[in-house]
Amino acid sequence: MNDAALAAAPVPPSLARRIIAFPLTLLILGFVWVAAAGVAVGRSWDVLGFERNTPEKMLGAVLMAAAVILAYKAFKRCVERAPDTEFAANGALPELAAGLAFGTALFTVMTGIVALLGGFEVLGVRGAGQIWTMLAIAIVSGTIEETLFRGIVLRHLEQLIGTWGALAFTSALFGLLHIVNPDATWWSSLAIALEAGILLGAAYLLTRRLWLAIGIHAAWNFTQGWVFSVPVSGGDAPLGLLITRRVGPDWLTGGDFGLEASVVAMVIATSAGVLLLVMAARRGQIVRPMWRR
């Protein structure tokens, strides 16, 4: 081989670079880095002492979401050394809008079915209520959780164990982590794993971007918390637009955890997730495990 050919030959990556570029390493480093960015901004905003239900609280949520997105972009460029396609500007607004509309419609339809079955009643209209709090929760949960679980965990696991294994693992993990929420049960965690884990994972797989999943997640939480005054994954029912109450058996109403633990929610949201998975598969978005590639 002559000198020109030797000069043009690519230099193999170092051992350290190969270790860093391994999907499991990137998963751990990326998760810690992005989570730390979100926590840092959140803690800084809390130190300023803003009240919970104020526009400033929502502004803090926006800043936290922006910090997470910027941290993700920096990690992809500097550590992964890859272009950021998950937060690509191309298609961002249409996909985010579609996610917001879909998430709102999905929870509204589910709540309507529960009401028709006698498990949900609207008693009146309250007004603005805790709108700023619910907007903040929707923005933070939608952006941070989707970035961590779908943008980092699912994406990197997929390179190791394939799409189906990564989707099953992240769905189970997402449900399991909700067991620490107030009024959570093993049933509610199973419901979250199936309805949210599959639906949101499928939304990412369909587009290979995070905008659709973020929109669905944020709208689902905001609709249940502010519009219908239902607990968001456990805890106390927020003061939302409508004065409502849930009556009847826990399988129908979700019990103290909220409508997310209803059998109706599980069927509706999981069915929607399966539909998105079918669409993703038809687009050729399914990745095989590394031992079959």
Residue 45 lies in a domain: no
Side chain identity at residue 30, one-letter code: G
The pTM of this model reads 0.93
Residue 41 lies in a domain: no
Each residue's pLDDT tens digit, 195-225: 999 999 999 999 999 999 999 999 999 999 9
CB 23 within 8 A of CB 156: yes
Residue 143 tokens read as 């952006």
Each residue's pLDDT tens digit, 237-277: 899 999 999 999 999 999 999 999 999 999 999 999 999 99
Residue 61 lies in a domain: no
SS3 annotation, 112-178:
HHHHHCCCEEEEEECCCCCHHHHHHHHHHHHHHHHHHHHHHHHHHHHHHHHHHHHHHHHHHHHHHHH
pLDDT of residue 54: 85
Phi, psi of 127 (to 5 degrees): 120, -150
Residue 40: C-alpha distances to residues 45, 64, 67, 116, 168 (Å): 9, 8, 9, 45, 30
Residue 63 lies in a domain: no
Each residue's pLDDT tens digit, 6-52: 555 567 778 788 888 899 999 999 999 999 998 888 777 766 666 67
pLDDT of residue 49: 61
Work out whether the CA dihedral 148, 156, 220, 188 comes out positive or negative: negative
Q: Which residue, chain included where needed, has tokens 């941070």? A: 144
Residue 282 lies in a domain: yes
**Whether residue 230 has pLDDT greater than 80:** yes
pLDDT of residue 57: 85
Residue 227 lies in a domain: yes
Cα 102 → chain centroid: 14
d(CA 220, CA 241): 15
Per the structure, how many domains does the chain have?
1
Q: Which residue, chain included where needed, has tokens 């979100």? A: 38
The residues with which 244 forms a beta bridge, in sequence order, are: 122
Residue 148 lies in a domain: yes
Each residue's pLDDT tens digit, 57-112: 888 889 899 999 999 999 999 999 999 999 999 889 999 999 999 999 999 999 99
d(CA 218, CA 176): 20
- What average pLDDT score do residues 119-139 get? 93
Residue 199 domain boundaries: 90-292
Burial zone of 277 (CB within 10 Å; 0-12 exposed, 13-18 middle, 19+ buried): buried
**Residues comprising the chain, all counted:** 293
pLDDT of residue 4: 53
d(CA 219, CA 224): 8
Residue 115 lies in a domain: yes
